[in-house]
Structure 1
Amino acid sequence: MNNKDIYLIGVGNYTEVIIELARDCGFTVKGLYHYNSDRIGEELLGVKIIDSTDNLYNSNLNGRQFAVTIGENKLRSDIGSKIRSFGGETPNLTHPSAFIYDSATLGQGCFIHLNAVIWTRATLGDDCIISPNGMIAHHASIGDGCSVAPFSVVGAYCKIGKRVLFGINSIILSKSLTLGDDCIVGAKANVTKSYPEKCVLVGNPARKIKDLK
């Protein structure tokens, strides 16, 4: 099997983004999988839906490469873990213009978009999204399934939990701050202190407006 062949799971607007990212990374997108078998044969950007995810999970995934093109953090992370547990591979897709320092550490199934920066000794978990012009600063870490929107910055020494969503142009200051799992940081928020899990943060300076259930 060609090691530049890849299959995409999910069919939506973000799938189109990942089709183009995969192509920019030199991959050939061989087909799409969707949970609804009635959609088999439909196309996105010239790529067909070839089967349902139910049938995929009942097939041999060993040696095959996949990208989970789902924006929702928990679902993307869960499906990525499932694919790997069944023997499938989820390579990182890194745009040629992105800069990842040699000392940085990335998990599996990450999407690193154009002009993103993963700085010295930064650490990313599995199934993370770093959008265009996003930055993970030196010695910072983000957990599995996080999503960092365009022009957002996770400051140096910060520790971010799993499935945290950063809105466009948000910042968490370089103060060894921590954010717990499943937090949402609103667009243009400026986080200046640590927060526990499942907080929604907005404003400058950021404040908690609600707890998620």
Structure 2
Amino acid sequence: MSAQHNSLYILGAGGHARVAIQTARLMGLHVAGLFDDNCSLEDQFVIGAPVMGPLGRLGEVMPLPCLIAIGDNERRAELARRFPGPWATLVHPRAFVDDTAELGQGTIVMPGAVVNANARIGEHAIINSNATVEHDCRVGNAAHVSCNACLTGGVSVGDQSLIGAGAVILPGVTVGREARVAAGAVLTRAAPDNATMCGVPARQMTSNRN
């Protein structure tokens, strides 16, 4: 395989990008460069990968698949609309993704994560380290299932929603669009769009948007 066909760019140069870089390398991919709007990072290196400049410079370089390595769901979705791709999908070698599961383009599955039978993960989603997405779950576009969170069977998570670290969503429960389930919460009933759910059992605390 040529170097070009075995390479990708990463959008973002923060902590999430570091995990993406290492995941790509373990998959045998070459990270050709990073793009980030933090001007202080230009011409620097992030664990050996060069920062090539702001995001707007992406159009000036040889086209390669890209991954948006930015934890903020809204920002990730905005960049997915702004740039045409193509988008890379990364699965850490120490993650498990069942053969019957589906991953959308631009999604990353991190070390220790499990995506089980018949699960469907949307585009530009993050399945973070040691997260569990059980059988028949649905995770929307640009959603984030944080470290050690557990979606039990048949859970549905809407676009751009955040499931906090260590949160548990009980079987068949639906999380709306752009909702947040706080770290450590146990969600036993549906979470509306834009809601923030906290506690055990989780209750709606506030709204992210009017």
TM bracket, shorter-chain basis: over 0.9
Mapped to 2, the partners of 1:46 and 1:28 lie a distance apart of: 11
From 119, 125, 130, the equivalent of 1:128 is: 125
Match of 2:184 in 1: 188
Q: What is the one-letter code of the residue matched to 1:7?
A: Y
Q: Deviations over 1:4-48 (max 9, x none)?
A: 211111121221121111111211111111224564211111211
CA positional deviation for 1:159: 1.4
SS at match of 1:6: strand
Mapped to 2, the partners of 1:200 and 1:50 lie a distance apart of: 37
Using a 3 Å threshold, how does the CA distance of structure 1 residues 38 and 131 change in structure 2: closer, same or farther? closer
The TM-score with structure 2 as length reference comes to 0.92
Q: Say if 1:110 and 1:128, in contact at 8 Å, map to a contact too.
A: yes
Mapped to 1, the partners of 2:6 and 2:195 lie a distance apart of: 40
Asked if residue 153 in structure 1 is aligned to residue 153 in structure 2, the reply is: no
Q: Deviations over 1:127-184 (max 9, x none)?
A: 111111111111110100111111111121121110111111101001x221111111
Map 1:162-181 to 2 at 5 A: 162-174=159-171, 176-181=172-177
The TM-score with structure 1 as length reference comes to 0.91
Mapped to 2, the partners of 1:10 and 1:97 lie a distance apart of: 23
Match of 1:23 in 2: 25
Match of 1:209 in 2: 205
Mapped to 2, the partners of 1:49 and 1:60 lie a distance apart of: 15
Using a 3 Å threshold, how does the CA distance of structure 1 residues 197 and 137 change in structure 2: closer, same or farther? same
CA positional deviation for 1:51: 2.9
Q: Which moved more, 1:5-14 or 1:28-37?
A: 28-37
Mapped to 2, the partners of 1:178 and 1:56 lie a distance apart of: 37
Mapped to 2, the partners of 1:166 and 1:150 lie a distance apart of: 9
Q: Say if 1:77 and 1:126, in contact at 8 Å, map to a contact too.
A: no
Match of 1:42 in 2: 44
Match of 1:73 in 2: 73
Mapped to 1, the partners of 2:44 and 2:36 lie a distance apart of: 10
CA positional deviation for 1:57: 3.4
Q: What is the one-letter code of the residue matched to 1:130?
A: I
From 113, 116, 120, the equivalent of 1:119 is: 116
Q: What is the one-letter code of the residue matched to 2:188?
A: T
Ranges of 4+ aligned residues in structure 1 off by more than 2 Å: 35-40, 57-61, 80-83
Using a 3 Å threshold, how does the CA distance of structure 1 residues 184 and 143 change in structure 2: closer, same or farther? same
Asked if residue 7 in structure 1 is aligned to residue 3 in structure 2, the reply is: no
Q: Deviations over 1:88-141 (max 9, x none)?
A: 321211011111111111111111011211111110000111111111111110
Mapped to 2, the partners of 1:10 and 1:187 lie a distance apart of: 24
The alignment yields a C-alpha RMSD, in angstroms, of: 1.6
From 51, 55, 58, the equivalent of 1:56 is: 58
Q: What is the one-letter code of the residue matched to 1:122?
A: A
Q: Which blocks of at least 5 consecutive residues in structure 2 are unaligned?
A: none
Mapped to 1, the partners of 2:129 and 2:32 lie a distance apart of: 25
SS at match of 2:22: helix
Q: What is the one-letter code of the residue matched to 2:10?
A: L
SS at match of 2:57: helix
Instruction: Tell me the matched-pair count.
Output: 207
